[in-house]
Amino acid sequence: MKQVSKIFSRRLVELLYRPVTVKIDGVLYDISLPLNVNETYPEKYIIVAFFKDEETFAGSYFDLRHGAVSFHPKPELQKINHENELWSREGRQVIRIGKLFSIFSNNIIIDGNEAFGIQVYDENDPLHKKIFLKYCEEFTFKVIATLCTDKIQISDDPSSIYRTTLSDLDVGTLGNSCMRKGSDSDCRHGNITYNRWNAKIAYITDKDEYLMSRALIWENVLLENGMRVTFMDRIYGNETHVQHMKDYAIENGWFFKVIQSSDTYNVTNGTITSLVHCVNIPSNWEMSGAQPYMDTFTHVTFDKLYARIEQMINDGETSLFELQSTSRCFCRKIKCAGCGEITDAIKIIDGKEYCNNCVLFDDYNNELCFSNEAVRYYTRDGRLRWVNKHRVEGLVVVRDEYAVMLCEPLDFTEGLARLGIEYSTTRNEPENLHQRKRLQYMEDPTSPEEIRDSFRSAFESLRAHNYITR
C-alpha cells in the first residue's frame, strides 16, 4: 500500500476534518478522517492531502461547487489562474460522495461505544457498511449546505418567532413540531416561557418572512466536561437548513446537538464533544400558563434547567416540572420557608411562604398557625380540629393525657375519628345498624381502653372526661 497525494481546496478539507456522528440501531458512532496535510503547497488557498491507499483514482483538484464536490479527471490538464488563485472550471466533473470517500476509506476511523471501541473502516463488515453509508449521507448534507445563502437571524424574543406562520416551502421537521404555530398541542401556547428563561433564537425565513427553520440559543450552558458554552438547541427545518445552522454554530464557536432529536444530549462544536448538563435561568421566572415542550432541558428547578434527571439529583436539586408533555400547565410552586420542601400548597405567615405541613389552619380562631404550635381539640359534634396552643381561651381541659397542651393527636383518633363516627352531646346511641356494625372496629388497640367496649361507653367516656369542646 503506497501513499497517494491528492490536491484539495482548503475549504473542502476543513469540511472533511469535521467529525460526523451517526446513530445506528440506537448506538452513536463518531466518524473522523485523519488527513496528512502539506501546508507548503505554493498556492495560497490550496493544500495537499496524503492518503494511504492504492492508486485507484486518477482525478485530483477537489473542491466545493454549487452544493457538490467537483474534481478534474485529468489533473495534468487542470488550469490555474495565478492572479486570483482559482481553478478553471473547464473539464471539471462532479463526484459522488460515496466515491469520494472510497478513495481514502482506509483512513476512516470509527469510534463507537465501549463494546465497539475504535476501529478502522472495513468495507467487508456489515455494520461498518451501514455506518459508512450514513456517514456519506450526513456529509452530503454538509456539502449541500455550503450552497445555502439563506440568512440566519438571531432574536431575543423567541415567542414572536414561534408565533410566525410557517413557509409553504420545504420546512422539514419544523412542519411536525408540536410547538409550531397551528399545532394541535397545547404546549404551543407555552412559548412565552422561553422569553422568561432568557433564551434567544436563531431562525431562517423565506423572502416573504414566513418561518423555515429555528433553533433556541442558550448562553452560559454548563457541559459535563466543565466548559461554559453557548448552545444551539435542536434545529428544526429541512436538511439543508439544519446543516446551515450547524455550520453557523461552528463559525461562532457554539455547540449544537450531535443528533437532532429529543432523546440525546451529546453536543459538539465540530471538534470537542461532551454532554449537556444545565443552564441557569432567572430565579423569579413566572410559573404560569402552558408548559413548553423541551427537547434537551427536560427538568426545571427554581433557577436551572437540567438535561437529565440524574444530573439534577447529583447536584442536590429538586425538579419542579418535567418538560416533555404536550398538554400540561405550570402551577406556582415554592420552597417552604420552614422545612424546605417543594410545594404548590402555599400558606403565608408574616410575608413568608410555607407548606401544609409547617402551617395549619386554626379552626377555633379562624387563622393560620405553625404546626409546631398547634394541638388537637374536639368540636361539639366530635370532629377533630387544630388550634394554636397559645390561644385556647374557652376550651376546657380535664385530664392531662388528653389535654389541649398535647402536641400529638389524641390516642383515640386512630380508632374513632379515623372511622368518621361523629358524636353529639344529645345522642347516646348509634344512629343506625350500619354505624353499629362499624363499632366492631373499636377494638383497634390504638384506641383508649375505656372506649373500646361500646359506642355508649365511648360517648360517655368522651363526655365524662370532658374532652375539649366548644
Quick check: 36 and 49 in contact, CB under 8 A?
Answer: yes
Q: Report the distance separating Cα 51 and Cα 108, nearest Å.
A: 11
Those residues with Cβ within 8 angstroms of residue 134's Cβ, 6 or more apart along the chain or in another chain = 22, 23, 24
User: Across-strand partners of 9?
Assistant: 46
Tell the burial category of 375 from Cβ atoms under 10 Å away from its Cβ (0-12, 13-18, 19+): buried
Are 179 and 115 contained in the same domain?
no
Closest CA to 355 of 367, 343, 370, 372: 343
pLDDT tens series, the chain, 470 aa: 567 778 888 888 888 888 888 889 888 899 988 877 776 565 655 666 666 555 667 888 899 888 889 999 998 888 887 666 678 888 999 999 888 888 888 889 999 888 899 999 998 999 999 999 999 998 988 888 888 889 999 999 999 999 999 999 999 999 999 999 999 999 999 999 999 999 999 999 999 999 999 999 999 999 999 999 999 999 999 999 999 999 999 999 999 999 999 878 999 998 889 999 999 999 999 999 999 999 999 999 999 999 999 999 999 998 999 999 999 999 999 889 998 888 888 899 999 999 988 999 988 889 999 988 887 776 655 567 788 888 877 665 533 333 333 333 334 444 344 334 443 333 344 444 444 434 433 434 444 443 334 444 444 444 444 444 33
Strands 255-257 and 228-232: parallel
Q: Could you tell me how many residues make up the chain?
A: 470
Q: Of 122, 145, 168, which closes a domain?
A: 145
- Number of other residues whose CB lies within 10 A of the CB of residue 405: 9
In the structure grid, which three cell numbers stand for residue 246, read together? Answer: 450547524
Amino acid 106: pLDDT? 80
8 Å CB contact between 375 and 363: no
Cβ contact 103:56 at 8 Å? yes
- Which residues 6+ apart lie within 8 Å of 229 measured at CB? 220, 221, 223, 253, 254, 255, 269
End of a domain among 145, 176, 194? 145
The amino acid that residue 342 corresponds to is I
Statement to judge: residues 169 and 285 lie in one domain: yes
Calpha distance 340→305 (Å, rounded): 20
For 257, the enclosing helix (H) or strand (E) is strand 255-257
Which cell numbers in the block locate residue 199?
433564551
Angle, in degrees to the nearest 10, between helices 239-251 and 126-145: 80
Same domain, 165 and 238: yes
Residue entry with cell 408548559: 291
What pLDDT was estimated at residue 42?
A: 56
- Asked which of 129, 145, 161 is the last residue of a domain, the reply is 145
In this structure, the number of other CB atoms found within 10 A of the CB of residue 449 comes to 9
The domain total for the chain is 4
CA separation for the pair 72, 61 (Å, rounded):
6
The sign of the CA dihedral 427, 432, 433, 438 is negative
Residue 53 makes CB contacts below 8 A (sequence gap 6+) with 1, 4, 103, 104, 105, 106, 107
- Whether residue 81 lies inside any domain: the answer is yes
> What three-state secondary structure class fits 273?
strand
The Cα-based distances of 279 to 6, 190, 290, 459 in angstroms read 45, 19, 21, 61
SS3 of residue 232 by DSSP: strand
Q: Are residues 37 and 110 in the same domain?
A: yes
Q: Are residues 307 and 201 in the same domain?
A: yes
* pTM assigned to the model: 0.71
Asked whether residue 392 is assigned to any structural domain, the reply reads yes
User: Residue 49: its pLDDT value, please?
Assistant: 63
170 and 303 in a single domain? The answer is yes
d(CA 50, CA 36): 5
Q: Which three cell numbers stand for residue 57?
A: 483514482
**Co-location of 351 and 384 in the same domain:** no
> How high is the pLDDT of residue 54?
57
Domain annotation covers residue 327: no
Residues 260 and 311 in one domain: yes
- For residue 213, which of 245, 256, 168 has the smallest C-alpha distance? 245
pLDDT at 438: 41
In a domain, 397, yes or no: yes
One domain, residues 108 and 164: no
Other Cβ atoms closer than 10 A to 265 = 21
Residues 119 and 195 in one domain: no
Which pLDDT belongs to residue 102?
A: 84
Q: Where are the beta strands (DSSP E) in 287-379?
A: 299-300, 304-306, 321-322, 334-335, 342-343, 347-349, 352-354, 359-362, 367-370, 374-378
User: φ, ψ for residue 5 (rounded to 5)?
Assistant: -100, 140
8 and 132 both lie in a single domain: yes
Place of cell 469520494: 100
In the numeric block, the cell 359506642 is attached to 455
Q: CA–CA separation, 50 vs 58, rounded Å?
A: 14
Rounded Cα distance between 221 and 304, Å, is 10
Q: Are residues 304 and 164 in the same domain?
A: yes
- Which residues partner with 373 through β-bridges? none
Instruction: Give residue 223's domain range.
Output: 153-322
| Pairwise CA distance, residues 163 & 167, whole Å | 12
Sort strands 342-343 and 334-335 into parallel, antiparallel or unpaired.
antiparallel
